[in-house]
Amino acid sequence: MQCLLRWLGLVLLLMLFPISMSGCRGSESQAEPGNSQDAVKAVKVDVVEVKPEPIQDVLVLPGETEAWQDVLVAADKNGRVEWIGPREGQEVKKGELLARIDVSALKTIIDRSEASAELSKDLYERRKTLFDRGIVHKEALERARTDKAVAESNLVKAKVEYDRGFPHSPISGMVNYLHVDEGEFVNRGQPMVELVNVDKIKIHVNVPELDVRYLKKGQDVMVTIDAFPDLRLKGTVDFVSYKADPATKTFRVRVLIDNQNHEIRPGMIARVAFLRRMIPDALSAPLFAILDKGGERLLFVEKDGIAHARTVSIGVIARDRVQIINGLKPGDRLIVTGQRDVEEGMKVQVQ
């Protein structure tokens, strides 16, 4: 009986031995360093070296394009429009006849005034001859001289009234709009023809009081037009207001650009870029590299494979770059890719 019990115990021990060995192997496998859950993988990043570079402080303001000259020609007398010359869209030269108003009645007045002036002139010359001979008194000669002056004045007045029936273009430009048709009766002061000169274009912008000190007449500016996004135009500051608008506290600035091909039309939206100043040795960073965490602006720099956070103060923003006033120094390795995936003290791998 005892031998049987020893034999059963030996069999049971042999059955339990593989289970215990398996448990030991499992524990050893979990303890291997290569599979440790505490190992942290380094974040891949791209870096650039911070160097002093020039940066432009540019102010961009919106404005509306206007014609260099915009004139509304009105009727200078009452009458019926007999003829209209240039039509809408046609070019006109300065002094060119635009229309003709019925002046037949005034032509009669001119003829009568010319006859009267000629008669008074002859009378004056006869009186002067008689006065030189001592036949007439001086009073008669003075009266003849006065009549002659009055007749000549009436003739000039009649011609002026007659010429008012022939409106001429005061500028060279384009006929933008005709306000009357042939056969229409017009009154003095009534609009007839709208003329525009777009060889140059004016742009008026309102400049804040803190920025107007950077602007002066003759300064070059860059202009873009919303209707032509790929077009870059050189403009010139033509006038800077000496008095601020009391409502907006801004100063009116006029910019001129050439428009010889008449591509730009009045009424388009323009953007004017004024160069306020040039900062020659600015430290800058890409705008997208800056992170906002808890109200602080942060940049990350890499040193010896470790990411370090820097709290920064910004200055001038120039397109996609921003000036860093405090927080960076020359030679820093600025993280520009992967910065959103790192924290202070994390390991990083520079690609």
Task: Show the 3-state SS of the chain.
Answer: CHHHHHHHHHHHHHHHHHHHHHHHHHHHHHCCHHHCCCCCCCEEEEEEECCCEEEEEEEEEEEEEEEEEEEEEECCCCEEEEEECCCCCCEECCCCECEEECCHHHHHHHHHHHHHHHHHHHHHHHHHHHHHCCCCCHHHHHHHHHHHHHHHHHHHHHHHHHHCCCCECCCCEEEEEECCCCCCEECCCCEEEEEEEEEEEEEEEEEECCCHHHCCCCCEEEEEECCEEEEEEEEEEEEECCCCCCCCCEEEEEEEEECCCCCCCCCCEEEEEEEEEEEEEECEEEHHHCEEECCEEEEEEEECCEEEEEECEEEEEECCEEEEEECCCCCCEEEEECHHHCCCCCEEEEC
**Average confidence (pLDDT) over 55-73:** 94
- pLDDT above 70 coverage of the chain, percent: 89
**What is the structure's pLDDT at 1?**
44
Using CA atoms, how far apart are residues 235 and 218, in angstroms rounded to an integer? 9
**Average confidence (pLDDT) over 324-351:** 92
Residue, of 75 and 104, whose pLDDT is higher? 75
**What is the structure's pLDDT at 27?**
40
Using CA atoms, how far apart are residues 76 and 167, in angstroms rounded to an integer? 8
For the stretch 298-312, pLDDT in tens is: 999 999 999 999 999
Residue, of 2 and 342, whose pLDDT is higher? 342
**What is the structure's pLDDT at 30?**
42
Cα torsion angle, 62, 64, 69, 72, sign: negative
pLDDT band at 11 (very low <50, low <70, confident <90, very high): very low
- Position 54 pLDDT exceeds 80: yes
Across the chain, what does the average pLDDT equal? 87
**What is the structure's pLDDT at 19?**
42
For the stretch 153-184, pLDDT in tens is: 989 998 888 889 999 999 999 999 999 999 99
- Position 28 pLDDT exceeds 90: no
| From 24-38, 311-325, 326-340, the region with the lowest mean pLDDT | 24-38
Geometric angle at alpha carbon 22, from 16 and 28, rounded to 5°: 140
- Is CATH 1.10.287 the classification given to domain 104-164? yes
Q: Record the tokens describing residue 224, joined without a space.
A: 């873009």
Domain boundaries, the chain: 60-67+196-280, 104-164, 283-350
pLDDT band at 316 (very low <50, low <70, confident <90, very high): confident
**What is the structure's pLDDT at 318?**
83
For the stretch 178-202, pLDDT in tens is: 999 999 999 999 999 999 999 999 9
**What is the structure's pLDDT at 5?**
42
**What is the structure's pLDDT at 6?**
54
pLDDT band at 12 (very low <50, low <70, confident <90, very high): very low
**What is the structure's pLDDT at 228?**
95
Residue range 283-350, CATH number: 2.40.420.20
**What is the structure's pLDDT at 137?**
86
**What is the structure's pLDDT at 108?**
84
- pLDDT above 90 coverage of the chain, percent: 64
**What is the structure's pLDDT at 29?**
39
- Position 31 pLDDT exceeds 70: no
**What is the structure's pLDDT at 103?**
85
Strand-strand pairing, 333-337 and 291-293 = unpaired
For the stretch 106-133, pLDDT in tens is: 888 888 888 988 999 988 888 888 888 8
- Is CATH 2.170.120.12 the classification given to domain 60-67+196-280? no
**Average confidence (pLDDT) over 11-21:** 44
**What is the structure's pLDDT at 107?**
83
pLDDT band at 90 (very low <50, low <70, confident <90, very high): very high
- Position 266 pLDDT exceeds 60: yes
213 contact partners, CB below 8 Å, separation of at least 6:
none
